[in-house]
C-alpha cells in the first residue's frame, strides 16, 4: 500500500531532515487539500505526523487532527509524542484509524503491549526508528536523539507476542534525504517476520525506489518529501507499487 504522509507544525505542512527541527522546510499546502488530492488519486490511508505533539505533548494539535479526520475521505494514521493511554484514546475517539506509538513503547514495552492488547492490533502502529551500527539495527528514541540500546529484532519478537500487525520502520540515516531506502533492512525483517505489515519509511526519491521497496518484502510505504516536491504523483506511485 502507498501511504502519503504530511508532517504538521502549527497547522502547516513541513518536512524535517533526519528529524531535526532546525532543518525544516515549510510548504504552502493546505493539509485537507493534500488529503483530498491523495484520495482522488487512489490512496487508501493517510499518514499524519503531529510534530508539535512530538516536541511537547501539551501542544498536541488534537483539534486540527479531529477536524481533518472528520473532513477526510480517507482513514488517517497519526502519531507524534504519544506517551500515555489518554493520548491513544483521545485520538481513537477523534476517529483516527490507527495511532502510531514510538518511543513510549520502546522505553516502556509493557505500555506498548498493553495498548496492543487493549485497543487491538489493527488500531495501533508501532513506529521504530533505526540506526545501523556495526551491522546491527538499534532502535532510537526521543525524536532520534537517543539510542535505546535495544536491538530491533528483539523488540519485534516482544510485540509480536501481543499480535503486532503494523510496524513503521524508518532508517534514520535515510529520512528526508532522498538517497534511496534501506531495502536490505526491510528484506531482513520481512524474512524473519513474514506476517507483519512492514511499512517502509525514509529515503524514497523515485519510482525505482518504490519498486525496490516492494521487492524487499515491505507491504506498505510512507511517502513524504518526494510527493511534496512533485517527484512523482500518488497515482504514479500506486501504479508502480502494483506492477513492481
CB 39 within 8 A of CB 235: no
Mean pLDDT of 218-236: 95
Q: How confident is the model at residue 134 (pLDDT cuts 50, 70, 90)?
A: confident
Q: What is the predicted pLDDT for the residue at 178?
A: 58
Beta strands in 117-185 (DSSP E): 124-133, 136-141, 146-151, 166-171
Domain of residue 123: give its range: 2-243
Reduce the DSSP state of residue 81 to 3 states and report it.
coil
Q: Binning pLDDT at 50, 70 and 90, where does residue 137 land? A: confident
Mean of pLDDT values over 126-149: 75
**pLDDT tens profile 56-95:** 888 999 999 999 999 999 999 999 989 999 999 999 999 9
Catalytic pick among 129, 171, 175, 209: 129
129 an active-site residue? yes
pLDDT of residue 132: 78
pLDDT higher for 149 or 193? 193
Q: What is the CATH number of the domain that holds 85?
A: 3.20.20.70
> Residue 29 is placed in which grid cell?
499546502
Q: Considering the candidates 7, 50, 52, 171, report the single residue annotated as catalytic.
A: 7
pTM: 0.91
Which grid cell sits at 226?
518526494
Identify the helix (H) or strand (E) that includes residue 5.
strand 2-9
pLDDT at 173: 65
Angle at the Cα of 49 from the Cα atoms of 16 and 18, rounded to 5 degrees: 25
pLDDT band at residue 157, thresholds of 50, 70 and 90?
very high
For position 145, what pLDDT does the model report? 52
CA distance readout (Å), 81 to 10, 21, 40, 61, 99: 15, 14, 30, 11, 11
Query: In total, how many domains does the chain have?
Result: 1
Determine the average pLDDT of the residues in 127-134: 85
What confidence tens digit (pLDDT) does each residue in 190-222 have?
999 999 999 999 889 999 999 999 999 999 999
- pLDDT tens-digit profile of 6-58? 999 999 998 876 666 677 788 889 999 999 999 999 999 999 999 998 888 88
pLDDT of residue 57: 84
What's the pLDDT tens digit per position in 86-130? 999 999 999 999 999 998 999 999 999 999 999 999 999 999 988
Handedness of CA 146, 148, 154, 157 (dihedral sign): negative
In which element (H, E) is residue 223 found?
strand 220-223
Q: Are 239 and 218 in contact (CB under 8 A)?
A: no
Amino acid at each position: 500500500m502507498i501511504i502519503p504522509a504530511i508532517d504538521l507544525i502549527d497547522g502547516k505542512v513541513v518536512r524535517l531532515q533526519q528529524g531535526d527541527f532546525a532543518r525544516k522546510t515549510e510548504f504552502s499546502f493546505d493539509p485537507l487539500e493534500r488529503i483530498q488530492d491523495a484520495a482522488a488519486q487512489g490512496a487508501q490511508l493517510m499518514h499524519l505526523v503531529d510534530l508539535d505533539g512530538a516536541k511537547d505533548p501539551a501542544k498536541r494539535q488534537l483539534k486540527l487532527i479531529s477536524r481533518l479526520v472528520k473532513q477526510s475521505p480517507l482513514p488517517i494514521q497519526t502519531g507524534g509524542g504519544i506517551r500515555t493511554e489518554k493520548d491513544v484514546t483521545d485520538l481513537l475517539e477523534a476517529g483516527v484509524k490507527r495511532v502510531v506509538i514510538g518511543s513510549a513503547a520502546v522505553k516502556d514495552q509493557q505500555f506498548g503491549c498493553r495498548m496492543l492488547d487493549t485497543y487491538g492490533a489493527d488500531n495501533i502502529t508501532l513506529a521504530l526508528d533505526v540506526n545501523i551500527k556495526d551491522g546491527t539495527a538499534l532502535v532510537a528514541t526521543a525524536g532520534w536523539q537517543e539510542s535505546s540500546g535495544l536491538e530491533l529484532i528483539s523488540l519485534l519478537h516482544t510485540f509480536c507476542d501481543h499480535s503486532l500487525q503494523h510496524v513503521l520502520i524508518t532508517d534514520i540515516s535515510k529520512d528526508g534525504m532522498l538517497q534511496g531506502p534501506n531495502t536490505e533492512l526491510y528484506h531482513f525483517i520481512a524474512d524473519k517476520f513474514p506476517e507483519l505489515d512492514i511499512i517502509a519509511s525514509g529515503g524514497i526519491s523515485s519510482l525505482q525506489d518504490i519498486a525496490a521497496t516492494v521487492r524487499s518484502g515491505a507491504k506498505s510505504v510512507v511517502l513524504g518529501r518526494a510527493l511534496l516536491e512533485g517527484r512523482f504523483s500518488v497515482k504514479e506511485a500506486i501504479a508502480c507499487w502494483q506492477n513492481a
